[in-house]
Structures are given as structure tokens and as C-alpha cells.
Structure 1
């Protein structure tokens, strides 16, 4: 997997940036340090001025890459979902049994994230923490319909679509596949958030992982055996 990942490039929809940050060291630094800063202070308090001070660059240089901090958040979330899509495709590529593919997909989507050394400017573990806390802020806006038409959520929708196909292959007669797929992916984030901040509201803890809950939920919903 490591050798293949070295040839993998995350491609983000061009509507999310003014200049592709992957094309320069400054751009990569903006992306990498913005992840760390948002994790430290939260998206509400995050500004390009604070980011500029952190990276030792003018605020105006950041605006050459991103129109505003909302577009930066959309870029970061898209990067994360593209990375998740790759992991999903890779981990299920050589599996033939449809239920095994489904079980593995749920595990990939639900497991705790580890940092991937092949992307030195992105700390995926910290980015995952941002997605858990901040992803809803990327689309719960008045501009969501316009941004959706522009393709800002294309990678996320593509990931959900892949998961829909996996569910449908395991149980072709299930009538609510789109709702189930999107609910699981969003629900994973919610359960991780509850686990961290409201432990009395979730069954997930240090011994019961979210993927166990969602595997049971999905397989029971689809009337499939929960036993491997």
C-alpha cells in the first residue's frame, strides 16, 4: 500500500482554490499549518491573519490561494474525503465476497485515522479531528446549493456513491441505499464526536469501536448475517 500511495495524488475541484496549493511549497505549507491551527483554536477563531503569522508570510499571500477561510475548509474536507475514497478502493480491491467488501468498507470509513507519512504536509490524524468537529460547517450555509452546483462537494458525493454501490451489491433489494450510505458516513463522524465529548450519549468507548456499531446496524438493516 505504501508504494502505491507514493504515486497517488489528491485532485481537488478547481472551484475551491484560486491557485492550486499543491503546486508550491508555500501552498503546501498553508494547507499543512492551517490544519494544525484550526485544530488548536477552532474554525470560528481561525483567520488568515493568524495563519499568516504562524507561517511567517503576509496574509495577502494566503488570499492568492484561497478566496476565504470557508473555501479553505471546503478544500480540506475535500482532501480528506479523497484520501478516504482511495483507502476504500484500495482495501476492497481484491475482495470478491460482497458482504466481506461491505464489512471492510464500514471498517475503513469508521476506523480511527493514523498519520500517513507519504503526505508530509498533511497530518491526516489531525485532519480527521477537524472533519469530526467542523465538517458540518462546510455545508450548513446559505451558499450550499450554489457551491454544490459548482462542484464543491463532488468528491464527498463520489465517496458516498461508492459506498452506495457496495451496499447495493451486498443487498440489491434494499430500497433506501442512498439514505443508508450517507447516514453511515455522517453517523461515523457523530459517534466519534460523542465518544470524545458526550460519552454518556454513545455506546462507543475505548473497547467498543464505531465500526462495530455500524457493522451491526448495517448488516441488521440489510438482513445479512453479522458474523464473519
Structure 2
């Protein structure tokens, strides 16, 4: 019996150690051995995904820096693995914690800002005032654009963590009502849980893609 609804997101273990954070790197153990044998269907499938992402990120970045898309493809892969691992029973969902999502979002945003303000200062200043803004509104637009720029890592982190928490909480709440239900209602509940699991699988893919694509868009603005 859970003492707290959010205890399912508790990173501590019975040994009072944060061993659950090791699940962040557990994804490598779940890759089948056949993946590493080239060529394999799984290998071809993953390369196909990476090539699609590479083409999309390359268009958004708009730069000729070789290998720049690999950062965002790796980011997508890491978040995707951890989102999916959280759907398995008794595996800690590390992406539902702000400590991990902020650790991914803040250094990326900070490096973009440092690079942009050092190398493209005029371009970064021009971004503070959108084109066609009336002169009387320019001071307000600078304040609004500055605030929206500062909260970017927070919105990236909170979006990912909140989406992971929301789905897991809903499944936990419905799962706790199972012992109190009749057999007919229990079958109905299992069907709902399976549908929710499919929805959470889609959310796991979408949120990792959104995190990577927004990071790419933020980086493209500093050039």
C-alpha cells in the first residue's frame, strides 16, 4: 500500500541509496545482441530513423558544421530509451524528474546563449525585437523576449517531466482501484490500462522528439 501517490517516483531504494538512477543507463542492456551484427533488420531500422532525424535536424540547423546533428540524435535516443524503460514494471522513470531533464536542457541552452552572444552579438540583439514592431512597443517586446528566452530550459524540462508524471500517475490511480472491482469491471479496467499503455508509448516517442526538435530550433536561432 502506497503511503503517498508520488512514492512511485521516489528515487531512493531500500538501501537508502539512489541506485534507481542507474536505470538511466539500463537501456544499453536492453539492446539485443543481434543489433550489433551488421547487417541486421534492427540495425537497418535504427539507422533509417537516425537518417530521417539527421535530414530534419540539418534543415532546421541550417549550418554546414559536420556532425552537429549527432548531438540532437543522441539526445533523442537517450530520452526515448528512458521514457520506454519507465513503462516496464519496477523500473524507475528517470525522465519524470526535473533533476535529469534540467541537467539535459540547461547546459544545452547555456552553451547556445554563450556561443550566440560571443560570436553573433548583433544577431542576438536583433532577436529581442521582432520585425515590424512599432517603436512604442519595443521596450516591452525586449522584456517579453528576454523572459521567454530565459525560461526556455525550464519549459523544456517541465514539459518532459510533467508528461511522464501525468501518464504514470493516471495508470497508478486506475491500477490501485483494481482490487476493489468486480470481475467484469476488472476486465474493463485492463482494457483501459492497455489503451493507456499504448498512449504512453506514443507520448514516450513524441516527447523525446519534441525535446530534441526544440533544442535544435533554439540552437538554430544563435547563428
TM-score by length of 1: 0.30
Higher helix share: 2
Task: Select the structure of larger CA radius of gyration.
Answer: 2
